[in-house]
Amino acid sequence: MIGILGSLGQPLPVDPVPIDRPGVDWGAVAPMLVLVGGALVLMLVSSFVRSRRSTVGYTIFTCLVALGAIGAAIPLWLEVNDDDRGPFSTLAGSVGVDGFSTFVTFLIGAAVVLAALFIDDYLRREHLEGVEAYVLLLLSATGGVIMAHANDLIVLFLGLEVLSMAVYVLAAMHRRRVTSQEAGLKYFVLGAFSSAFFLYGIAMIYGGTGTTNLVTILETFSTSALTDDGLILAGLALLLVGLGFKVAAVPFHFWTPDVYQGSPSPMVAWMASGVKVAGFAGLMRVFDLAFIAYAVDWQPLIYAVAVATMLVGAVLAVVQTDVKRMMAYSSISHAGFVLVGVQAATDQGVEAALFYLATYVFLVAGTFGIITLVGRRGDSHHSLDDYRGLARSRPVLALTLALFLFAQAGVPFTSGFFAKFYVINAAVDAGSTWLAAVAMLSAVIAAFIYLRIAVSMYMADPAPEAAGGGDVAGAPRIAVPAGATIALTLCVIVTIGAGLWPGSIADLARDAVPVLATFR
């Protein structure tokens, strides 16, 4: 908005006082503009289209917009990694472009593509045809990309809200299901609450430092120290509450199982991948970058949160019988792993966290994609029994899910193994060996649920009593539409590819360590 206003016209010749207008680098904000523009165009076009049927066109358009955002980010990536140019900021220093922000843009773009491909068939299956889901998806992606670029706490808050508002509605997308409505409402109420915490945290930081700009904060603390920093510490704690809610860290996780269970499954694929990436992007920009001088103070806090997140997520996942709830708790546990990387407060830690997120996007999106398919019409077949005999009726689908599950358990030659390895590496190098040990133990606990699902698929015969009348005769019939096939193929390629040649993603992640650049 600032950019648009600033560029609107020439200053009036009669005005003696020149207005100091911020410079706008349109190329630098192109990824956000592409996403938000795509959303608006989609909304506009759909209002002229009479039929509500043609969702395939919307899907393709959404994917193209997401790819366009990735395409717009590629020149930026090349630019910031060019030794002569380097990272920079624009819009009066409130938007920063560095390897970190572009890398996260790539991830969010990929998550949008995956989610759109899974949503496509879902909407037709549930008779929910319409353009709303795609528009909201693109808008929330815009919010995520803004968070990744934020060089100012206010911009970060704006991004967070744009992201959240759209996701609240996505959660309530299934109009005829009470659980979906309930999930949306729950998410909204708790999310609004956490946003308030976040905003209060910003106010305290402003009170303590006199600025909301992350660059200024970093520069202030690199040259001077405050004698009385109570306000800043309280502010940091409140920011952690707000961001911890978005990434579903314990003890701010209570919404996750209910919302994941109630929301439409392909929307959960987006929540667990894109939204989580955006949340961690904000977290790392604030803690690992702007407030790195306060690492000694916030590290114990994140240490404790990471331990609680990994253990609570893993232990509570074990006692679930609903696969969506299981995976919700498992995603909590994975958030704990990313926090282990964040906690290291080193470049290596951020790299590890980014690698973890990059691989996890594909793992979790693929998993919830398959959950969408197995859920069948009504999106209600989510108990463990519904997976019985899947290996017999749909061997390739079962093998794919098994691959994602074993990768999440951290089995070698999958992306998940290296994700854990890099995080452990960063933690040990930063001296948190015991945190690494806790992480590995929680991985063992969490492995139990992945094994349980694999047992259902491979080692149990289809349950005649559980799956309902139509399934007695044989294995349940599950359709795998084309969109989902493309998305799952992508996920499998990344999961195995990163498991054999982790350097391909790790090299990118290394260039993506965030840098706060001043106004160019």
Partner 1 sequence: MGALLLAQEGAPDFPILTALVLVPAVGAVAVALIPRARAELHRGVALLFSAAAGALAIYVLAAFDKNDAGMQFETNRSWIGDFGISWHLGVDGISLFLVVLTAVLFPLALLGSTPSHDAKPYYAWLLLLEAGCLGVFVALDLFLFFVMFEIVLVPMYFLIGGWGYARRVYAAIKFFLFTMFGSALMLVGIVALAYLHRDGVEDQNRAVATELLAEQEDPQAAPPAVQAQIAELQADVPLSFDLVEIAEARTVTDDSSGANPFDWTAARWIFLAFALAFAVKVPLFPLHTWLPDAHTEAPTAGSVILAGVLLKLGTYGLLRFGLYLFPDAASFFAPAFVTLGVIGIVYGAIVATMQRDLKRLVAYSSVAHLGFIVLGIFAITTQGLQGGLLQNVNHGLSTGALFLLVGMISDRRHTREISALKGLQKAAPIFAAVFTVVMMSSIGLPGLNGFVGEFLVLIGSFLTRRWWAVVAATGVILAALYLLWAYQRVFHGEPDDDNRHFPEMNWREGLVLAPLLGLIVFLGIYPKPVLERMQPSVDRLIEHVEANSDYTEPPVATEGPAVSAGEEARDEEAEG
Of 185 and 399, CB closest to partner 1: 399
Query: Is residue 25 left, alpha or beta, with left meaning phi > 0 and alpha meaning psi from -120 to 50?
Result: beta
Of 110 and 430, CB closest to partner 1: 430
Q: Report in angstroms how near the CB of residue 503 gets to partner 1 at its nearest.
A: 6
Rule CB under 8 A: is residue 313 a binding residue for partner 1?
A: no
CA angle, 162 then 165 then 167, to 5°: 105
Of 148 and 447, CB closest to partner 1: 447
Evaluated on CA atoms 32, 36, 39, 41, the torsion sign reads negative
Rule CB under 8 A: is residue 412 a binding residue for partner 1?
A: yes
- Using the 8-state DSSP alphabet, how is residue 462 labeled? P
Q: Report in angstroms how near the CB of residue 305 gets to partner 1 at its nearest.
A: 20
Q: Report in angstroms how near the CB of residue 11 gets to partner 1 at its nearest.
A: 52
Of 5 and 444, CB closest to partner 1: 444
Q: Which of 158, 293, 411, 486 is in the footprint of partner 1 by CB under 8 A?
A: 411
Rule CB under 8 A: is residue 74 a binding residue for partner 1?
A: no
Of 267 and 314, CB closest to partner 1: 314
- Answer yes or no: are the C-beta atoms of 300 and 237 closer than 8 Å: no
Q: Which of 444, 466, 479, 493 is in the footprint of partner 1 by CB under 8 A?
A: 444
- Answer yes or no: are the C-beta atoms of 509 and 96 closer than 8 Å: no
Q: Which of 90, 367, 400, 425 is in the footprint of partner 1 by CB under 8 A?
A: 425
Of 290 and 506, CB closest to partner 1: 506
Of 26 and 448, CB closest to partner 1: 448
Distances (CA, A) of 284 to 23, 269, 270, 371, 448: 26, 22, 20, 30, 30
Q: Report in angstroms how near the CB of residue 472 gets to partner 1 at its nearest.
A: 21
In degrees and rounded to multiples of 5, residue 20 shows phi and psi of -80, 100
- Answer yes or no: are the C-beta atoms of 125 and 490 closer than 8 Å: no
x/- string (CB under 8 A) for partner 1, residues 476-505?
------------------------xxxx--
CA–CA separation, 517 and 90 (whole Å)? 9
Distances (CA, A) of 417 to 17, 241, 305, 410, 499: 61, 29, 23, 4, 7
CA–CA separation, 355 and 342 (whole Å)? 12
Of 2 and 411, CB closest to partner 1: 411
Question: How many C-beta atoms lie closer than 10 Å to residue 324's C-beta?
Answer: 20
Rule CB under 8 A: is residue 443 a binding residue for partner 1?
A: yes
Rule CB under 8 A: is residue 436 a binding residue for partner 1?
A: yes
Rule CB under 8 A: is residue 428 a binding residue for partner 1?
A: yes
Q: Which of 74, 319, 437, 479 is in the footprint of partner 1 by CB under 8 A?
A: 437
- Which DSSP string corresponds to 183-201? HHHHHHHHHHHHHHHHHHH
Rule CB under 8 A: is residue 417 a binding residue for partner 1?
A: yes
Q: Report in angstroms how near the CB of residue 509 gets to partner 1 at its nearest.
A: 11
Of 49 and 440, CB closest to partner 1: 440
Rule CB under 8 A: is residue 406 a binding residue for partner 1?
A: yes
Q: Report in angstroms how near the CB of residue 413 gets to partner 1 at its nearest.
A: 6
CA–CA separation, 167 and 449 (whole Å)? 27
SS3 content of the chain, % helix, strand, coil (to 5): 75, 0, 25
Q: Which range of residues in 371-379, 441-449, 479-487, 511-519 is near partner 1 by CB under 8 A?
A: 441-449
- Answer yes or no: are the C-beta atoms of 134 and 61 closer than 8 Å: yes
- Answer yes or no: are the C-beta atoms of 484 and 123 closer than 8 Å: no
Q: Report in angstroms how near the CB of residue 77 gets to partner 1 at its nearest.
A: 20
Of 79 and 429, CB closest to partner 1: 429
- Answer yes or no: are the C-beta atoms of 502 and 416 closer than 8 Å: no
Q: Report in angstroms how near the CB of residue 128 gets to partner 1 at its nearest.
A: 37
Rule CB under 8 A: is residue 433 a binding residue for partner 1?
A: yes
Strand, helix or coil for residue 97: strand
Rule CB under 8 A: is residue 460 a binding residue for partner 1?
A: yes
Of 381 and 452, CB closest to partner 1: 452
Q: Report in angstroms how near the CB of residue 105 gets to partner 1 at its nearest.
A: 24
CA–CA separation, 496 and 407 (whole Å)? 9
Q: Report in angstroms how near the CB of residue 381 gets to partner 1 at its nearest.
A: 21
Within 354-393, the residues that bind partner 1 by CB under 8 A are none
CB-facing half-sphere around the CA of 503: CA atoms within 13 A: 1
Within 333-352, the residues that bind partner 1 by CB under 8 A are none
CB-based burial label for 504 (10 Å; 0-12, 13-18, 19+) = exposed
Given the rule CB under 8 A, which residues bind partner 1?
Answer: 406, 409, 411-413, 417, 420-421, 424-425, 428-429, 433, 436-437, 440-441, 443-444, 447-448, 451-452, 454-455, 458-460, 500-503, 506
